[in-house]
């Protein structure tokens, strides 16, 4: 029988739907010990607003891990700087948000938690508070001293990793270099093996240009950059298919047997995920010494405190984090 996992959940921006989602998922029992890192008062208040029952237990490191009963959550308390009103951002709480992330990541590094699942933060308000912050991924990359992280989104039957993320489209072609692709593919292949039970990962690689450049007529990056890297990596036995035209690659039939797709840019991969995911997509950061999954949506300030937020993505993120931990341990046990 597998052991009980300890998953840290950061509730994210207190004015957004993060706290709501934590309370909503607590309405059913979970085989994992779910440990929310947030201000307990905030959670209690929000539960009241949502008219949902919630019992909080202080998380105790020294006690054995235990499953989470319906209507309950474990909590590692971090105090808000200012009271949080649903839908109203307050820069004073920016450092609170970052503190929860730090506790979660450090807890993963020290073995206190098995993985961290993050609810959405609001980049704008953190920057407004005078703290340079470009996103969860970059923040955790620094905190864990990771060399190269890769953003991957997953939903039922499809995983898409991105070679470039939040770049203006005009800057994408020059960012697609051989060293970048080599690095991204190396992380992707390694983590598919470790966390996704894929001993010989098969990865479909998108071209950059329409029709994957059509033999050089519609762009040369496929010929000059992408193909040489794929050829080189195939020599090490990696199963890489491509570069393929992105518009046909994502059709059902072409995805059969693939462990992941590598997209060259944000909007090449994400719309497909959203389309196929139906609110059940999850964002995973690869290349770190810790396991981190996240919801695929934003803070949805207008829905905070209304009870209309959809917790599907948080459920999925918890499931993915758990299966990644299990795959890692199962793999280690066999090696």
Residues that bind another protein (CB under 8 A): 165-174, 208-211, 213-214, 218-221, 246-248, 250-251, 265-268, 270-276
Backbone angles phi and psi of 132, in degrees to 5: -70, 125
Sheet holding 33-38, edge to edge: 55-58, 72-77, 33-38, 6-10, 115-118, 292-295, 282-286, 150-155, 158-162, 260-263, 202-206, 239-244
For tokens 């997953």, the residue is 154
Give least dist CB 246 to another protein, A. Answer: 5
Cite the annotated binding site for a divalent metal cation by residue number.
166, 211, 266
Cite the annotated binding site by residue number.
136-137, 166, 211, 266, 274, 283, 292
Give the sign of the dihedral formed by CA 33, CA 34, CA 38, CA 43: negative
Give least dist CB 273 to another protein, A. Answer: 8
SS3 295: strand
Which is closer to another protein, CB of 147 or CB of 252? 252
Which is closer to another protein, CB of 77 or CB of 173? 173
Q: Tokens for 91, please give them.
A: 């820069």
For tokens 């807890």, the residue is 107
Q: Nearest-CA neighbor of 284 among 253, 316, 257, 306?
A: 316
Which is closer to another protein, CB of 29 or CB of 216? 216
* Spatial separation of the C-alpha atoms in residues 262 and 174, rounded to whole Å: 17
Which is closer to another protein, CB of 268 or CB of 316? 268
Which is closer to another protein, CB of 71 or CB of 135? 135
How many CA within 13 A on the CB side of residue 295? 27
119 and 10 in contact (C-beta within 8 Å)?
yes
Strand partners, 292: 116, 285
* Spatial separation of the C-alpha atoms in residues 15 and 167, rounded to whole Å: 28
Strand locations in 220-310 (E): 239-244, 260-263, 282-286, 292-295
Which is closer to another protein, CB of 113 or CB of 265? 265
Which is closer to another protein, CB of 74 or CB of 133? 133
* Spatial separation of the C-alpha atoms in residues 42 and 256, rounded to whole Å: 45
Which is closer to another protein, CB of 92 or CB of 123? 123
Q: Nearest-CA neighbor of 159 among 197, 120, 212?
A: 197
């Amino acid at each position: 029988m597998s052991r009980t996992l300890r998953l840290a959940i950061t509730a994210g921006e207190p004015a957004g739907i993060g706290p709501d989602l934590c309370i909503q998922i607590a309405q059913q029992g979970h085989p994992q010990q779910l440990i929310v890192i947030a201000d307990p008062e905030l959670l209690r208040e929000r539960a009241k607003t949502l008219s949902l029952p919630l019992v909080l237990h202080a998380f105790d490191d020294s006690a054995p891990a235990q499953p989470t009963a319906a209507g309950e959550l474990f909590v590692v308390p971090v105090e808000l700087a200012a009271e949080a009103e649903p839908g109203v951002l307050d820069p004073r709480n920016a450092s609170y948000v970052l503190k929860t992330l730090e506790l979660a990541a450090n807890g993963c590094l020290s073995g206190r938690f098995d993985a961290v699942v993050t609810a959405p933060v609001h980049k704008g308000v953190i920057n407004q508070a005078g703290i340079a912050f470009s996103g969860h991924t970059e923040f955790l990359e620094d905190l864990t001293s990771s060399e190269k992280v890769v953003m991957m989104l997953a939903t039922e039957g499809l995983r898409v990793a991105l070679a470039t993320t939040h770049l203006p489209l005009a800057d994408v072609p020059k960012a697609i270099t051989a060293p970048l692709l080599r690095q991204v593919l190396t992380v992707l292949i390694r983590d598919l093996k470790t966390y996704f039970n894929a001993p010989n990962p098969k990865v479909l690689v998108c071209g950059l240009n329409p029709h994957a450049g059509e033999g050089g007529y519609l762009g040369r990056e496929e010929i000059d950059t992408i193909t040489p890297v794929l050829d080189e990596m195939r020599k090490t036995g990696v199963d890489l298919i491509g570069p393929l035209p992105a518009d046909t690659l994502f059709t059902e039939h072409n995805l059969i047997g693939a462990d992941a797709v590598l997209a060259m840019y944000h909007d090449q991969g994400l719309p497909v995920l959203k389309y196929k995911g139906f609110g059940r997509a999850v964002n995973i950061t690869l290349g770190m010494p810790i396991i981190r999954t996240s919801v695929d949506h934003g803070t949805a300030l207008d829905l905070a405190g209304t009870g209309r937020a959809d917790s599907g993505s948080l459920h999925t993120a918890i499931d993915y984090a758990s299966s990644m931990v299990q795959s890692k341990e199962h793999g280690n046990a066999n090696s």
